[in-house]
């Protein structure tokens, strides 16, 4: 059984992904997949933005003392996302004019205030 802390963390992650998807849709993105998973990897969001297939990693933090959520996308994490994107494309995804890796960071203030959403387009490429 999952602990209370793990459940809270999962809930925070789900809230962050929903906020990120809403923000992206308001910015003209069309969400193609949410929480795309295979045993070998997963993608938080896959979106279309003006013909570009965008693989979006969503990171979140509660409070600002644990650092910026964008800083948590390590070289290892980028490699995992790239591997998952290749699996997604190999699974029969429609071709796109271009491909891109974005990161959305969501910070939930400790005082319960309005979450801050930061979107970094083209945060990394196939070289990491």
What's the domain count of the chain?
1
Q: Taking all residues of the chain, what is their mean pLDDT, rounded to a whole number? A: 90
- Rounded CA-CA distance 27/68 in Å is 22
What pLDDT score was predicted for residue 3? 63
- Model confidence over 47-73: pLDDT tens digits? 999 999 999 999 998 876 677 888 889
Q: What is the CATH number of the domain that holds 84?
A: 3.40.1350.10
Global pTM reads 0.89
Buried b (16+ CB within 10 A) or exposed e, 97-127: eeebbbbbbbbbeeeeeebebebeeebbeee
What pLDDT score was predicted for residue 1? 47
Q: Domain span at residue 16?
A: 4-124
Token digits for 114? 């309005």
- Rounded CA-CA distance 111/71 in Å is 22
């Amino acid at each position: 059984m999952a602990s209370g802390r793990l459940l809270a963390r999962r809930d925070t992650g789900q809230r962050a992904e929903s906020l990120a998807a809403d923000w992206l849709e308001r910015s003209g993105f069309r969400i193609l997949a949410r929480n795309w998973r295979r045993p070998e990897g997963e993608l938080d969001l896959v979106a279309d933005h003006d013909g570009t297939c965008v693989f979006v990693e969503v990171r979140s933090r509660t409070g600002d003392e644990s650092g910026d959520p964008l800083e948590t996308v390590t070289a290892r994490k980028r490699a995992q996302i790239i591997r998952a994107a290749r699996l997604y494309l190999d699974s029969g995804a429609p071709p796109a004019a271009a491909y891109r890796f974005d990161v959305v960071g969501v910070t939930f203030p400790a005082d319960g205030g309005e979450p801050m959403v930061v979107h970094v387009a083209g945060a990394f490429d196939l070289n990491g």
